[in-house]
Amino acid sequence: MRHIALIFALIGGFILMAPGAHAEPSASSRLPQPSIAFLKAPPANIDAVPGLLDRPDWQPLAEETPNFGYVTDNYWYRMPLESSPGNQVLEISYPQLDYVRFYLLADGEIVQTVVTGDHLPFSERPLYHPSFLIPYTVEPNVEYEILLSVKTSGAHQVPIRLWQQNALFDALTTEDRLHSLYYGILITTIFFNLFIFLALREATYLYYVLSTFSYLFLMATLRGVTFQVFWPDNPWLQNQVMLMVVPFAVLFALLFARSFLRLWEAAPRTDLLLQFLSGVSLLAILGTFVLEFNTSIKSSVALALSAFLVLIIIGPLQWIRRNPQAGFYTIAWGLLIIGTMLTASNKYGLLPTNWLTTYGMQVGSALEAILLTIALAKRLYNEREDRLHAREAELRAMAARRSAELRMMDQALHNPLTGLPNRTCFEMMINDLIARVPDRRYAIAVIHLNNLQSITKTLGHRNTDRLIELAATRYHSVVREIPGILAIEETDQRSVYLASLEPATFGFVVDADQISAAPRAIVIGLEELREPIDYLGMQLPLDPQIGTAIFPDHAQDTNSLIRRAHIAQDSDEARDRGLAYYQPTRDSYSADRLTLVSELRQALQNEELALHLQPKLSLASHTVVGLEALIRWPRRKSPIPADEIVAIAEQTGLIRPLTRWVLEQSLELRARLLDRGWPLSVSVNISPNNLREPDFPDFVQRLMNNHHRHRGAITLEVTETSMMQDPANSLKALNSLHSAGIPVSIDDFGSGYSSLSYIKQLPASEIKIDRSLITDITTQPGDRVIVQTTIDMCHSLGYTVVAEGVEDEETADLLKTMGCDMIQGYWLTPPLPIDEMLVWLSSHTMSAISRKLG
């Protein structure tokens, strides 16, 4: 771009500096151009100067001013002054000349000598100006002649003008103003783009700044301004800079064009060429230090010329290839070319001199600078826009991906039918819970719908699905009310407490400490769960069965917890009561249990088991009327609760020998009691499995026959729920026992859901109200009503009523007022070994108990 100017300047004779480059207010203010004659001869001594004039080989100059190209010879010029007197100035507007000697001859005599040139310090100039300005005075009636001796390296051109002093100063002022404007425009674009570069750190801006700056610097150097301003006393530096500004300007122009057009993307081969030329420019810069002046100038010009041609062709070529930046680039170049052409045409007389032709190149380059700045700004804007659009698109894509992921995750974690969290989600929640708060106890519960299969067979899958949905809603509303219930999934919108583990299985998690503090809530919840579901006008019992495993008692990891909850759910207990806790001993799948079974067998054989006794007190007589025998395994390292011993025995067939041992043992204990004067009845717990043994009644009968004195004093306790598993056989067995004179007691009454009409058929004389109903009667009016109703009902059916689990005096008092016949529980004493029981019996004399009961 600016290289055009450079090329024209270098090749076409430094148009800018050439005469006529000045703004000329009016041609008349300039003195008429003198006719010049020249002579090629070495510089001469001042004394020899007048002699030179007489030489015959002076030749008239064909052109207006001298221009001999790259010659290093010394030339002499002479010109007669035909002007009117006054203060005048000779101007040579090519500040590159090495040496200029000026002689003013008046009537053949040298009256003034001036030596100047850019090989001399600036301070020696007669007028402090980048161009050579030599003032002289013309007196009237004297014949004047000017003689110049010029020697220079580089282009030998001597654009001579003669001025009236005032007219020159006017012209210079106007010109300076225009140049200031021009420089101002370039400096502004330089700073503007520099700031943008500093803000954005984009190389293109830096190259643009460097390129424009080097162009500006080149211009200023060619005009001699830099010499005058920066290093007026250092002619060597001025000449060195003169050599370097050209390759520098070429280098930065190349770098800028590459970067601006993104040639490495758009045209890699052209880019390679530009890289090569950049390399040559660097070499040219280095060359200025070693090459001879003219060689250096010539190679710079050759470089500039080829670079210029390449750069000027790239624009349209890239434009055709739809390089988005090429339009601006080409137009900017075009403006500079047009401007330069205008100026050049004027220089060569093709166009008249006017403001536009004079300043065409400056205008062109200024417009070019402005246009490129706009182009850069536009590119910046476009890139911003593009990046913004790209970012927006990316964000949209990300959001879409995210929501798809969420949807997939949602699907992966939920049951499609019920919309509840699925097994995976349930497991994750438990994992998270026991990892986060491992120091609490949690109950992991599963609800299995036992009746679902038969419903499906009756009503079909579609109805089953609908039913499962209804069950999910119902169960969710039930479990959410359980104290200590923990959310499986919690979002801003909702908390979900129930999970769908399998089509017929749900799960939930409860804080075990909170729920065990509220046993009644379990009972109520269970009742609600058990209610049949109203569907299509039918009351459909889903028969839900709950199994529960406790963290950390039953297992420490999620998988085992859920598995064990399932095992508990599948147990007889769950079938009977609707709810069962996991019991390791009943887990036929656990390794511990295997060893436990063989240990129990051993213990039974080796008589390691024992019976403890717990008294049964009559509330009416304040006397102990009986004792319940409860199994113990005293010498075992880790104690096993009685019901677990029984459970293992039941599952492995050991219950048969166990119960028989217990019965025989009770007779022995009772014998000891009798010996000590305590004629108390002894109650023995019987498993429903025993009732299924065909020879069980015979065994009991034979036992009683062999031990006459215990006849009628050994009561068999059977839980109401256990008999429900096989009602017909149980009834048969109990009837035959009863007819053999053996009293039967219904244990754990009220804990299950057996029908009273069935109970009524049983040959029992005693009902034991379950501990769970008794525990809270002092505080729960509802429980009190149930117990009172039970007592009244049982009395009306002719049963004696025993309250189990009486732990305090208040409960005992209350039960007495409610008409309960007997109590049993820790308030009297926990079960004790026979020896301790004997001590207890004698120390707790009847009167003491009487006092206690008031």
Using alpha carbons, select from 805, 847, 810, 846 the residue that is nearest to residue 826: 805
Considering only 748, 766, 783, 821, the residue that binds Ca ion (CB under 5 A) is: 748
Provide, rounded to whole angstroms, the least separation between the CB of residue 632 and ligand C2E. 7
Considering only 277, 617, 646, 680, the residue that binds ligand C2E (CB under 6 A) is: 646
- Region for 484 from its dihedrals, namely left if φ exceeds 0, alpha if ψ lies in -120 to 50, beta otherwise: left
Joined tokens for residue 495: 């908390």
8 Å CB contact between 752 and 721 = yes
511 binds Ca ion, rule: CB under 5 A: no
Nearer to ligand C2E by C-beta: 389 or 672?
672
Greatest Cα pair distance in the chain? 181
Tokens 């920066």 locate to: 230
- Positions 769 through 798 that interact with ligand C2E (CB under 6 A): 771
Q: How many binding residues for Ca ion (CB under 5 A)?
A: 5
Nearer to Ca ion by C-beta: 255 or 680?
680
Distance from C-alpha of 780 to C-alpha of 520, rounded to nearest angstrom: 9
631 binds ligand C2E, rule: CB under 6 A: yes
Considering only 178, 225, 305, 642, the residue that binds ligand C2E (CB under 6 A) is: 642
- Positions 251 through 280 that interact with ligand C2E (CB under 6 A): none
Provide, rounded to whole angstroms, the least separation between the CB of residue 653 and ligand C2E. 14
807 binds ligand C2E, rule: CB under 6 A: yes
825 binds ligand C2E, rule: CB under 6 A: yes
- Positions 583 through 612 that interact with ligand C2E (CB under 6 A): none
747 binds ligand C2E, rule: CB under 6 A: yes
- Positions 785 through 814 that interact with Ca ion (CB under 5 A): 804
379: exposed, middle or buried (Cβ count in 10 Å: 0-12, 13-18, 19+): middle
Considering only 415, 685, 689, 811, the residue that binds Ca ion (CB under 5 A) is: 685
| 22 contact partners, CB below 8 Å, separation of at least 6 | 93, 171, 172, 175, 358
Nearer to Ca ion by C-beta: 489 or 748?
748
Q: Which residue is nearest to Ca ion (CB)?
A: 717
Dihedral of CA atoms 581, 586, 588, 593 in degrees, nearest 10, equals: 120
Instruction: Decide which of ligand C2E, Ca ion, none touches 608; Cβ closer than 5 to 8 Å per partner kind.
Output: none
Instruction: Decide which of Ca ion, ligand C2E, none touches 130; Cβ closer than 5 to 8 Å per partner kind.
Output: none
Provide, rounded to whole angstroms, the least separation between the CB of residue 748 and ligand C2E. 6
Nearer to ligand C2E by C-beta: 347 or 632?
632
| 571 contact partners, CB below 8 Å, separation of at least 6 | 547, 580, 583, 586
Distance from C-alpha of 210 to C-alpha of 194, rounded to nearest angstrom: 9
- Positions 680 through 739 that interact with ligand C2E (CB under 6 A): 685-687, 717
Strand partners, 37: 60, 78
| DSSP helix/strand/coil, 508 | strand
| DSSP helix/strand/coil, 696 | helix
Q: Which stretch binds ligand C2E (CB under 6 A): 72-80, 306-314, 459-467, 805-813?
A: 805-813
Nearer to ligand C2E by C-beta: 455 or 654?
654
| 647 contact partners, CB below 8 Å, separation of at least 6 | 583, 585, 586
8 Å CB contact between 795 and 801 = yes
Instruction: Decide which of ligand C2E, Ca ion, none touches 662; Cβ closer than 5 to 8 Å per partner kind.
Output: ligand C2E
Provide, rounded to whole angstroms, the least separation between the CB of residue 747 and Ca ion. 4
805 binds ligand C2E, rule: CB under 6 A: yes
342 binds ligand C2E, rule: CB under 6 A: no
By DSSP bridging, strand 505-511 and strand 499-502 are antiparallel
Dihedral of CA atoms 354, 357, 361, 364 in degrees, nearest 10, equals: 90
Q: Which residue is nearest to ligand C2E (CB)?
A: 825
The number of beta carbons lying within 10 Å of the beta carbon of residue 184 is 11
Q: How far apart are the first and last CA of the chain?
A: 121
Q: Which stretch binds Ca ion (CB under 5 A): 17-25, 283-291, 429-437, 683-691?
A: 683-691
489 binds Ca ion, rule: CB under 5 A: no
By DSSP bridging, strand 109-116 and strand 99-106 are antiparallel
The number of beta carbons lying within 10 Å of the beta carbon of residue 27 is 8
Nearer to ligand C2E by C-beta: 281 or 614?
614
Instruction: Decide which of ligand C2E, Ca ion, none touches 831; Cβ closer than 5 to 8 Å per partner kind.
Output: ligand C2E
Distance from C-alpha of 36 to C-alpha of 60, rounded to nearest angstrom: 6
Provide, rounded to whole angstroms, the least separation between the CB of residue 426 and Ca ion. 34
Angle between the N-to-C axes of helices 235-261 and 326-347, in degrees from 0 to 180, rounded to the nearest 10: 140
Distance from C-alpha of 616 to C-alpha of 628, rounded to nearest angstrom: 7
Strand partners, 614: 628
Considering only 465, 599, 608, 643, the residue that binds ligand C2E (CB under 6 A) is: 643
Provide, rounded to whole angstroms, the least separation between the CB of residue 785 and ligand C2E. 22
831 binds ligand C2E, rule: CB under 6 A: yes
Nearer to ligand C2E by C-beta: 34 or 688?
688
Q: How many binding residues for ligand C2E (CB under 6 A)?
A: 24
525 binds ligand C2E, rule: CB under 6 A: no
∠ CA 336-338-339, rounded to 5°: 65
Nearer to ligand C2E by C-beta: 599 or 643?
643
Query: Side chain identity at 281, as an amino acid letter?
Result: S
Distance from C-alpha of 391 to C-alpha of 396, rounded to nearest angstrom: 8
Considering only 826, 836, 845, 850, the residue that binds ligand C2E (CB under 6 A) is: 826
Nearer to ligand C2E by C-beta: 337 or 814?
814
Q: Which stretch binds ligand C2E (CB under 6 A): 198-206, 567-575, 781-789, 823-831?
A: 823-831
Q: Report cis status (omega within 30 of 0) of the bond before 552.
A: yes
The residues of the shown chain that bind Ca ion, judged by CB under 5 A, are: 685, 717, 747-748, 804
Question: Which residues here bind ligand C2E, judged by CB under 6 A?
Answer: 614, 630-631, 641-643, 646, 659, 662, 685-687, 717, 747-748, 771, 804-807, 824-826, 831
